[in-house]
C-alpha cells in the first residue's frame, strides 16, 4: 500500500533514483495505491551516472505507475504476490513510460491492461 509520503525506487532508466508519492489517483480522498495504480510523485534523487543525460530533474512533479509493493496483492487466480521493495515506473501524461528499459520482473497482470508497453520493456514477468 502506497500512501502520500511513501518513498519508492524507480526501476526504469529515466534517470531518477528515488521518488516520493504526493497523491493517489483516481478518486476523491483515496488513501492507498497498490500494484497497477497511478500516483503523482516528486523526484527526490537522481542516479549518479545519468545526471547529465537525465530526462528528469530533481524536484519534478510527474506521474508514476506502481509496479511492486511490499504489502503485495492477490492475482486473478488467488495467489498472493509480494516483493521486497516499493517500486514504480515514471510515465508521461499519455501513460507511456519515460524510460526505454524496465529493470527486474513485473507482475503478469500488466499484460492484460493498458500498460502492456511496461510489461514488454521489462526483463520478465511473475505469476
Q: The CATH number of the domain where 23 resides is what?
A: 2.40.150.20
Q: How many domains does the chain have?
A: 1
Start-end of H helices in 80-122: 116-121
* pLDDT over 80 at 32, yes or no: yes
Give CA separation, 27 vs 24, 59, 71, 95, 103, in Å: 8, 25, 21, 17, 29
Evaluate whether residue 108 is within a structural domain. Answer: no
Q: Over pLDDT 90: what percentage of the chain?
A: 68
pLDDT digits (tens, 9 = 90+) for 53-100: 788 999 999 999 999 999 988 877 888 888 999 999 999 999 999 999
Considering the domain boundaries, does residue 111 fall inside one?
no
Range of the domain at 87: 7-99
In a domain, 112, yes or no: no
Is position 104 within any domain? no
Amino acid at each position: 500500500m502506497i500512501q502520500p509520503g511513501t518513498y519508492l525506487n524507480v526501476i526504469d532508466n529515466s534517470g531518477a533514483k528515488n521518488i516520493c508519492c504526493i497523491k493517489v489517483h483516481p478518486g476523491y480522498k483515496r488513501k492507498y495505491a497498490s500494484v497497477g495504480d497511478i500516483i503523482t510523485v516528486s523526484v527526490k534523487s537522481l542516479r549518479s551516472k545519468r545526471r547529465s543525460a537525465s530526462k528528469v530533474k530533481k524536484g519534478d512533479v510527474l506521474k508514476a505507475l506502481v509496479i511492486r509493493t511490499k504489502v503485495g496483492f492477490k492475482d486473478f487466480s488467488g495467489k498472493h504476490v509480494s516483493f521486497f521493495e516499493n517500486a514504480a515506473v515514471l510515465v508521461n501524461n499519455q501513460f507511456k513510460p519515460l524510460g526505454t528499459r524496465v529493470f527486474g520482473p513485473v507482475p503478469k497482470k500488466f499484460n492484460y491492461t493498458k500498460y502492456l508497453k511496461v510489461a514488454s520493456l521489462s526483463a520478465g514477468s511473475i505469476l
